[in-house]
């Protein structure tokens, strides 16, 4: 079995939908100790489903600690969330709680004063859906033939593109993140979406170890509605590995039935 593999399904009818999900995470192959700085969460309780990918900031001490802290904070928030709490509020609380927890560690240890993590999360309850991201982990949605990225990359490269730079120029700065959890509350404003959800939709959450290896079109082509979430996850990871992973890689697939 692959490191980090997880799959499952909520077989209860959540008003109209059954959620099927699978997740897979692998450390960068050449890491001598194979410390994976990516973390992920799939959570279900009382009709609420949450999926999150967190990628510890590369090159900084404690990246794996930061991503784990963000996931632990998110699980705690989801577990205590009232049934009437709006989904976007839940995701915002997850981000803010994770930021507080990480900054507490930063204040106590100079070794970890620059640690941080990305966050890409979705929440589903009944026919409602919300998403939020900070950093460069991504959230994609496939509805029939419609395919798109709901998240926004918070990188110097993305800012350069928005100002008219070429793809080649911007690509040199794609790895420089401008927003992340652990950077402080004034710098973590997330990209957010609220929208109704329909049966047949497929959501894909990835760390940059996946979407820097595979283009948006390649990811789209690997998603077959007839496949299980687990099969799609395996296909995507295997395809990324054929192009040689240069970073830790995590993919979460969520199917709405």
pLDDT digits (tens, 9 = 90+) for 97-155: 999 999 999 999 988 988 999 999 999 999 899 999 999 999 999 998 899 999 998 87
pLDDT on residue 33:
63
| Backbone dihedral angles phi then psi of residue 156, each to the nearest 5 degrees | -60, -40
pLDDT on residue 189:
86
pLDDT on residue 144:
87
Distance of alpha carbon 23 from the chain centroid: 11
What single DSSP character describes residue 32? S
- The strand ranges marked E within the chain are 6-14, 17-26, 38-45, 48-55, 119-125, 128-134, 138-143, 146-149, 191-196, 202-206, 249-256
Read off the tokens for 165: 């730079």
Q: Which segments in the chain show pLDDT lower than 70?
A: 1-16, 30-34, 59-60, 157-159, 161, 163-166, 168, 170, 172-174
Read off the tokens for 31: 């890491």
- Asked whether the beta carbons of 250 and 4 are under 8 A apart, the reply is yes
Question: What is the rounded distance in angstroms from the CA atom of residue 41 to the CA atom of residue 252?
Answer: 9
Sheet holding 128-134: strands in order across?
38-45, 48-55, 119-125, 128-134, 191-196
Q: Where are the domains of the chain?
A: 6-256
| CATH T-level assignment (fold) for domain 6-256 | Phosphatase 2c; domain 1 (3.60.40)
Instruction: Provide the CB-side half-sphere exposure for 195 (13 A, CA).
Output: 11
| Confidence (pTM) | 0.89
At 237, is the secondary structure helix, strand, or coil? Answer: helix
At 132, is the secondary structure helix, strand, or coil? Answer: strand
At 27, is the secondary structure helix, strand, or coil? Answer: coil
Which residues neighbour 164 within 8 Å (Cβ) at sequence distance 6 or greater?
Answer: none
Buried b / exposed e along 48-86 (16+ C-beta atoms within 10 A)? bbbbbbbbbbeebbbbbbbbbbbbebbeebbeebeeeee
- Asked whether the beta carbons of 57 and 65 are under 8 A apart, the reply is no
Question: What is the rounded distance in angstroms from the CA atom of residue 61 to the CA atom of residue 116?
Answer: 9
pLDDT on residue 20:
96
């Amino acid at each position: 079995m692959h490191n980090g593999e997880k799959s499952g399904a909520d077989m209860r009818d959540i008003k109209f939908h059954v959620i099927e999900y699978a997740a897979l995470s692998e450390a960068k192959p050449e890491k001598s100790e194979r410390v994976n700085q990516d973390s992920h969460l799939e959570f279900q309780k009382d009709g609420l489903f949450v999926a999150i990918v967190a990628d510890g900031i590369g090159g900084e001490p404690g990246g794996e600690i930061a991503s784990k802290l963000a996931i632990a904070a998110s699980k705690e928030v989801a577990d205590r969330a009232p049934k009437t709490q709006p989904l976007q509020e839940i995701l915002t609380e997850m981000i803010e709680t994770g930021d507080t927890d990480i900054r507490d560690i930063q204040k106590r240890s100079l070794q970890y004063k620059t640690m941080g993590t990305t966050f890409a999360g979705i929440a589903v309850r009944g026919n409602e859906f919300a998403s939020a991201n900070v950093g460069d982990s991504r959230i994609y949605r496939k509805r029939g033939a419609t395919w798109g990225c709901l998240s926004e990359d918070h990188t110097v490269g993305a800012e350069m593109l928005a100002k008219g730079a070429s793809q080649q120029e911007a690509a040199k700065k794609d790895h420089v993140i401008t927003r992340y959890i652990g950077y402080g509350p004034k710098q973590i404003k997330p990209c957010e979406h609220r929208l109704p959800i329909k049966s047949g939709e497929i959501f894909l959450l990835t760390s940059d170890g996946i979407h820097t290896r595979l283009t948006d079109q390649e990811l789209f082509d690997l998603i077959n509605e007839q496949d299980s979430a687990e099969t799609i996850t395996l296909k995507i990871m295997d395809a990324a590995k054929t192009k040689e992973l240069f970073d830790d890689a995590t993919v979460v697939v969520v199917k709405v039935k």
